[in-house]
Amino acid sequence: MDFAVLHDWDLDPRQAVALQRELAQQVRLMPTVAESPATVAGVDVSYEKHGDHFFAAVVVLDFATLNVVDQAWADGWVDFPYIPGLLSFRELPVLLAAFHRLKTVPDVVLVDGQGIAHPRRIGLASHLGLWLNLPTVGCAKSRLCGVHDEPGVMRGEAAPLLLADEVVGMVLRTRERVKPLYVSPGHLTDVASATRLTLACTRRYRMPEPTRLAHHLTNQLRRAALSS
C-alpha cells in the first residue's frame, strides 16, 4: 500500500519529543466510520535477544471471520535508543516498510502499543495512524501512564483510564480473570470505538487476533533468522 511521507527520521530524542508535540495536534478522535469494517489489521515487532536486529509484521484479517487475507513483514536494525514514550521513532520506520509491501489496505489497524494513552497523547498507534491516514487502535499489555480502577473479572468489563482527569482509554478485560488490556484510540477512532473493535477481535486469547497473529509471525521470523 502507498502513503505520503509525514516526516523524516533523522532526529535525536529532544527533536523527537518536539515533533510528537506537533503531531499530537493532528490526531483526530471520532467514532470509527464502519461499525463492522470489512478488514482489520494487526501489527507487532519482535527483537532478536541481545541484538539490534528486529522484525515488524502486519497481518490483515477478514473482520467477520478473523481469517487471514494478507500479510507482510520487514526487518531492520535499531538506530534510535530505547526511551519510554518514544517507541515509535525506534519501530515505525520498519513497520512502515512492512505496510509498503502490503497488497490490501485495511479498514482499521490494531497496534500492540499505546494510542493517546501517552504522556504527549501520541503513542505508536497514533503516530502510525497519522502516517497511514487510517483508523488505529492501541492495544497495550501494560500501562504507560494514567490511573484507573480495576475492572471487573468478567470478559467485556472495563474501567476508564484517566490522564489529567481526561479519559484516554479503557482498561478492558478480554478474558475472564485474565490481566486486562490497555486500549486507547490511536487516530480516527474514539474510546468507545477502540474498545468495541478490540473486544470484537478477541476470541479465545487475551490479545486481539490481529495483533496475536502478527506477534506469532514476527516470532517465526526471528527464530528463522537465528537458525540461518
* Binding-site residue ranges for Mg(2+): 44, 112
The residues pairing with 56 across neighbouring beta strands, listed in sequence order, are 45, 74
Query: Interior CA angle at 118 toward 78 and 222, to 5°?
Result: 30
Chain-centroid distance, C-alpha 152:
24
Q: Binding site: which residues? A: 44, 112
101: three-class secondary structure by DSSP: coil
For residue 180, the one-letter residue type is P
- Phi and psi dihedrals of 32, rounded to 5? -60, 130
For residue 127, count CB atoms less than 10 angstroms from its CB and return exposed for 0-12, middle for 13-18, buried for 19 or more: buried
Return d(Cα 180, Cα 206) in angstroms, integer.
8
